[in-house]
Structure 1
């Protein structure tokens, strides 16, 4: 008798290929066997999963909902199989990392270089996204670890802070004479502000802190990248909220100036995240060890 796991494997293959016959070819099964398996699964779940047409098969609404979970489960299973097959001495394997563009550029690159020099046969796959997106793909099994802006409140994830950062505000020549003296956050919000978009964890952290002080913000510009924040501030479109450690090139060259706040924003961290219930691969373990060692 075919197992429930096999039924879901067949379901996943039909869903991705949108064809019973194509799924049968890829699974080395007969088309009637594939059809029978889908009928059995639909019977077990008491719902229709596919719309059958002469041109193929498409998921019903219920089928689409189920596929999200089945696809995540299959990804986790494949990840588990890959980890078992990896050589313990790291002479082969793959390391899949989720990370944002800014952290990748200003923080991660030296670690990638050091790891590659030590383990040249390990293949890197880098997936970009916001912290929210990275947590989601991490839990779906698409990456081994994610390097995110903290804080993250998710009990299913293990989070290791690895690098402290400071949120600050910067400005260009237009505001140089006005901002020569330290100012309060209450005074700062009277200026045109430039922030990251609302789905950014960095934006949320700063905004939540300011709200806790009774200060609401209404940015003139909401942008999708840290580099754009620096560029917009440089051409005097407003005062940008940035990460100080990732803005040193502009500050050291005098292209931008840092606002002197009477009360600074509390420091936070960048951290490495992984699923608590899933063991790290040998490659991921060594990479995390490298990050932690470099920070000591």
Structure 2
């Protein structure tokens, strides 16, 4: 059954070609089918759209009026179809990522560089936030995907671990002698500790572990910047709880030293998350694949 939009497409083809037979050829239809479609449209609109002449067909005044609007409408539809194709082929669109400063700098940047190089027409929008804020960005539709510290518990989100990380304690030159042998948690708690602020998922993870071991946390410094923690520890202001994989330069050049504990803090992961109920855009899907399926 021919729908209303198809009738208008046939009408447009006839008006452009000024011929039923040429329109039929263009549309890969029989001339009879084209004639029947125009007759149906005229019947539904209760007007005559074409004059039939020996040299073809001509638009009536009503037909000319309709054709102006049909041309405009079909032009908009074609433009939309072209735009959809651009989105599918990643020649247009945007990618909105919720992520924190630390993960952006120490994990995400190479992936952003690679994605932007391959799909430079995609606009990147980075939304900075804590893990909780990133989850809210996704659920409110402000972000397509999030990259954050795991674990997170949210039944509405797909969560894909991407990279294992390890929480460690580091100190500057003043604490170098304490790296010779493992130290107990009791001794660690007596040192001036440097932690991220309480809203940080990294802080909450380590604090929860220490509480289970019977050691409530009372840091001397609570900072909002991961880089500041490294710098505070570097100038011997205390012992900082950091992510080993994000502190390798400091450890390698001797600016900081890792304190070994009698029991390692269980490893965790950085992961991707996105809504289960909303399909990923082509750009978001390609970005997720670039991280979980590296070339």
Is this a same-fold pair by TM over 0.5? yes
Q: Per-residue deviation at 1:186?
A: 2.3
Give the corresponding residue for 1:230. 230
Give the corresponding residue for 2:21. none
Give the corresponding residue for 1:272. 272
Give the corresponding residue for 2:188. 188
For residues 172-198 of structure 1, give each alpha carbon's deviation from its aligned partner in whole angstroms, at most 9, with x where no partner exists: 011122442211222211111000000
Q: Per-residue deviation at 1:95?
A: 0.4
Q: Contact 2:178–2:259 (CA<8 Å) still a contact in 1?
A: no
Give the corresponding residue for 2:146. 146
For 1:239-278, list aligned pairs within 5 A: 239-278=239-278
Structure 2 residue ranges without an equivalent (≥5): 1-82
1:105 is paired with a residue whose SS is helix
Give the corresponding residue for 2:162. 162
Is 1:100 paired with 2:100?
yes
Distance in 2 between the 1:270 and 1:178 partners?
A: 29
Distance in 2 between the 1:166 and 1:84 partners?
A: 43
Distance in 1 between the 2:141 and 2:237 partners?
A: 41
For residues 211-234 of structure 1, give each alpha carbon's deviation from its aligned partner in whole angstroms, at most 9, with x where no partner exists: 111111110000001101101101
Give the corresponding residue for 1:89. 89
2:87 is paired with a residue whose SS is coil
Q: Per-residue deviation at 1:85?
A: 7.8
Q: Per-residue deviation at 1:117?
A: 1.5
Distance in 2 between the 1:269 and 1:179 partners?
A: 25
Distance in 2 between the 1:84 and 1:275 partners?
A: 22
Distance in 1 between the 2:177 and 2:130 partners?
A: 36
Give the corresponding residue for 2:128. 128
Distance in 2 between the 1:88 and 1:204 partners?
A: 40
Q: Which runs of 4+ in 1 moved over 4 A?
A: 83-86
Q: Contact 2:166–2:267 (CA<8 Å) still a contact in 1?
A: yes
Distance 1:250 1:163, change over 3 A: same
Distance in 1 between the 2:86 and 2:213 partners?
A: 51
Distance in 2 between the 1:90 and 1:122 partners?
A: 7
2:242 is paired with a residue whose SS is strand
1:210 is paired with a residue whose SS is helix
Distance in 2 between the 1:84 and 1:134 partners?
A: 28
2:164 is paired with a residue whose SS is strand
Q: Contact 2:99–2:146 (CA<8 Å) still a contact in 1?
A: yes
Distance 1:84 1:279, change over 3 A: farther
1:177 is paired with a residue whose SS is helix
Distance in 2 between the 1:146 and 1:129 partners?
A: 10
Distance in 2 between the 1:112 and 1:86 partners?
A: 20
Q: Per-residue deviation at 1:86?
A: 5.9
Q: Per-residue deviation at 1:138?
A: 1.2
TM-score (norm 2): 0.70
Give the corresponding residue for 2:56. none
Give the corresponding residue for 1:176. 176
Q: Contact 2:179–2:257 (CA<8 Å) still a contact in 1?
A: no
